[in-house]
Amino acid sequence: MAEPHLASFSRLAEIVDLEHFPIHDVSAPARRELVAFCRGELAEDGCCSVKSFLRPDAVQRISEEAEALSSEAYRTTVAHNPYFSPDDEQFPEGHPRRQFQKRTNGFVCYDLIPDTSDLRALYDWPAFTAFLSEAFEIDPLHRYADPLAAMPFNTMRPGDTFPWHFDTNEFTVTLMIQPPESGGLFEYAPNVRSPEDECYEDVARVMDGQSDKVKTLELAAGDMQLFLGRYTLHRVTPVTGNRHRHVAIPSWARVPDMIGTPHRTKTIYGRLTDAHLTAAQQAPARADALTD
């Protein structure tokens, strides 16, 4: 990934409400309180919501950008399992590795987002990564190196849905840009697997609607969500009403130079880059041995 172009502080203050969320000032009591809040929420169930993190004017600008880019989204109606992995007949029928559910939505890849975007300015800001490193209690924390998946827009039309899945990257931040009129709720089963155990039986119970671990989070425009999606099974319920659902998904990883696998990348984004083909041959070691 190219080196970031750092925005001015005044530009960043127009994007984030730095009065209430002074993520740049390590000495600010409000920042310490925010870090403590995020850590507590993440420790409890792997998910944290920070309300009104983005300023309304920035939300409006990004929303207009998302609408303009939505025509370039790679839209698919495909079926995949929670791991975005091929069918594996060594597992019995009905096993989570062999449960393929329909996904219909679109992604605008990171390389299509303009250099002038507020989202790029925020993602490139070292203070943002430093704050998230403290909130996630991971030091160092690395921006995702994937040229397509580092910070895509997920855009969902009425009727679209994103079924149960785990993330490739360990640490994900979601910025709600435009919620739908109804539906499109984020549901998640906290810590349903661990770095040491796939916990297939627990995953099967969630997918079969038999688990009491599932929680629901409804995000408003401008809200930021911190999420440990590699270990927490999650989905987005069908979007209803007349308005599209737009979220930005800036991503980080525990190790540097992390790039998605070719199979998963082609499944979600519809194309590959030379970086993906190279990474498939020289993939950095993961912090776990879980299925991608």
Residue 101 belongs to domain with CATH number: 2.60.120.620
pLDDT in tens, 57-81: 999 999 999 999 999 999 999 899 9
Within 8 A by CB and 6+ apart from 79, the residues are 100, 101, 102, 103
pLDDT mean over 99-115: 95
Q: Is the pLDDT of residue 168 over 80?
A: no
In a domain, 259, yes or no: yes
Per-residue model confidence as pLDDT tens digits over 213-255: 999 999 999 999 999 898 999 999 999 999 999 999 998 888 8
Q: How far apart are CA 273 and CA 153, in angstroms?
A: 18
Question: For residue 82, what pLDDT band results from cuts at 50, 70 and 90?
Answer: very high
Alpha-carbon torsion, ordered 228, 230, 233, 238, to 10 deg: 80
Q: What is the number of structural domains in the chain? A: 1
Q: Indicate the pLDDT class of residue 4, thresholds 50, 70 and 90.
A: low
Is 102 within the bounds of a domain?
yes
pLDDT at 2 over 80: no
Does 64 reside within a domain?
Answer: yes
Residue 289 within any structural domain of the chain: no
Q: How far apart are CA 144 and CA 151, in angstroms?
A: 8
Give a yes or no: residue 4 inside a domain: no
Residue 286 is assigned to a structural domain of this protein: no
Q: Nearest to residue 162, comparing CAs of 228, 237, 232, 93?
A: 237
Q: Which domain does 93 fall in, by range?
A: 9-281
Residues 231-241: tens digit of each pLDDT: 999 999 999 99
Is 215 part of a structural domain of the chain? yes
C-alpha 120/C-alpha 123 separation (Å) is: 5
Task: Give percent of the chain with pLDDT exceeding 70.
Answer: 96
The per-residue pLDDT for 65 is: 96
- Decide if pLDDT at 289 tops 80: no
Dist. CA 177–CA 265, nearest whole Å: 23
Residue pair 222/176 in contact by the 8 Å Cβ criterion: yes
Return the pLDDT at 170: 77
Least confident of 8-17, 126-135, 168-177, 281-290: 281-290
Residue 42 domain-assigned (yes or no): yes
Whole-structure pTM value: 0.89
What average pLDDT does this structure show over 83-105? 95
